[in-house]
Amino acid sequence: MVTRSLLSGFGSYLPERIVTNDELSQRLDTSDDWIRGRTGIRQRHIVGEDETAVSMAAEAARRALAFGGIDPQTVDAVIVATSTPDQVFPATAVRVLHELSATGGFGFDIAAACSGFIYGMATADAFILSGKAKCVVVIGSEVYSRILDWDDRTTAVLFGDGAGAVVLTASDDPGNRGLLSTHLHADGALGDILYVDGAVGRSGHSGHLKMNGREVFRHAVGRLSSAVDEALGAEGLTHADVAWLVPHQANIRIIEGVARKLHLPMEQVVVTVDRHANTSAASIPLALDEAVRDGRIRRGDLVLMEALGGGLTWGSALARV
């Protein structure tokens, strides 16, 4: 009997090219001090001409499968969270299945902006617990550099490109490891404070990301804190039980605000925003992979993940790795 979705593999991919704040200041009315003081960001990775959401997602997935010693042929499903797919269709996930030679699986994309990875984890967990799948690769892959207005310093400095992946597998281990709970929320009334201006179904729009940063910040800390309390409460746990917080990497001020609400020292928070900037749906799996591989997150640790993105969408996931 399947009792849990076990986090069995972790992987990530970052483009080789790094763009520093100083480089951005050569074309924008900004500076390293201004960007770091307001966001905590000092650099970001930007795709090369031949890199795409598919290519990054596939490489992150390969590394996650290799980490877990998992044969791609055993993959039942690939779920890709992305706001920047290569094409309207086929789905990014279907292309990734082909790249992995996972010939027996199915795949689809999730559009939930920066919350997409949490939404993807919840969806994969439902497939596994229902018996519909035994091995699901959940990926966040984003190429935000191609939807930014690079003349707008309020958004151009905030985002980067990259991909991260986690492999969930069915487990009948009576122990308490695995994905314990997920909690998803959305409020469409707040959709106009963070969005992309245009899509294939509309014309006459820029296709660039638009954001009311003040309003996003105002909603972020409270909603994220509520979501993580919800996750802990569902399992009868407290803030003191959390070994690591792995938050969406949007802004160091938001990250610090949530940590204060949880009474967690920053030493227990995985922070990559300084080096990766905001990679949207890719940010949590990128941070998770880094902290697992460098030994900070160890087997048995209780890990709390949370994210908020355009929609607004937000949510949390609690796992014992």
Q: What is the per-residue pLDDT for 88?
A: 93
Q: What is the per-residue pLDDT for 244?
A: 98
Contact partners, residue 94, CB within 8 Å, separation at least 6? 78, 107, 108
Residues above pLDDT 90, as percent of the chain:
93
Low-confidence ranges of the chain (pLDDT < 70): 1, 174, 200-205
Q: What is the per-residue pLDDT for 206?
A: 78
Region for residue 69 given its phi and psi (left: phi exceeds 0; alpha: psi -120 to 50; beta: otherwise):
left
Q: Which residue has the tokens 């949880």?
A: 262
Report d(CA 41, CA 18) in Å as an integer.
12
Report the DSSP pairing between strands 17-20 and 43-46. Answer: antiparallel
Q: Which domains does the chain have, with CATH numbers?
A: 4-171 (3.40.47.10), 178-320 (3.40.47.10)
CA distances from 64 to 92, 205, 288 (A): 17, 38, 11
Contact partners, residue 275, CB within 8 Å, separation at least 6? 42, 43, 44
What are the pLDDT digits (tens) for 215-268? 999 999 999 999 999 999 999 999 999 999 999 999 999 999 999 999 999 999
Report d(CA 156, CA 152) in Å as an integer.
6
Residues serving a catalytic function are 114, 248, 278
CA distances from 236 to 127, 177, 227 (A): 24, 15, 14
Q: Which residue has the tokens 């791609």?
A: 72
What are the pLDDT digits (tens) for 177-207? 999 999 999 999 999 999 999 876 665 667 8
Report d(CA 258, CA 266) in Å as an integer.
10
Indicate yes or no: pTM above 0.75: yes
Q: Which residue has the tokens 């480089």?
A: 23
Q: What is the per-residue pLDDT for 202?
A: 61
